[in-house]
């Protein structure tokens, strides 16, 4: 299962998704904590950041942080400036 734009989820929504995963399910959460559209979460309280923090020492999980945006120069500039 792929959950895209997970930075817009709340920690409760992430928990809801994961607690319903069956045996053998692989779940990938993607997102950018700097591009949040949800007014009720921020870069540190969103579901994606919450998940990464709470699962960081678990042997069944992994985390990758990309250092560069890949959409366009405009999208990168807007993300950094706005």
Question: Is pTM, for the whole model, over 0.75?
Answer: yes
How many structural domains comprise the chain? 1
pLDDT tens, residue by residue, 34-74: 889 999 999 999 999 999 999 999 999 999 998 877 788 89
* CA distance to 18, 38, 52, 53, per residue, from 63 (Å): 16, 22, 7, 10
pLDDT tens, residue by residue, 19-44: 999 999 999 999 999 889 999 999 99
- Residues spanned by the domain of 7: 2-81
């Amino acid at each position: 299962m792929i959950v895209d734009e997970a930075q817009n989820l709340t920690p409760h929504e992430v928990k809801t998704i994961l607690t319903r995963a069956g045996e053998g399910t692989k779940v990938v959460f993607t997102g950018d904590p700097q591009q949040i559209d949800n007014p009720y979460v921020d870069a540190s309280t969103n579901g994606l950041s919450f998940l990464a923090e709470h699962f960081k020492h678990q042997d069944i999980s992994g985390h990758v942080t990309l250092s560069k945006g890949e959409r366009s120069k405009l999208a990168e500039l807007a993300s950094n400036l706005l």
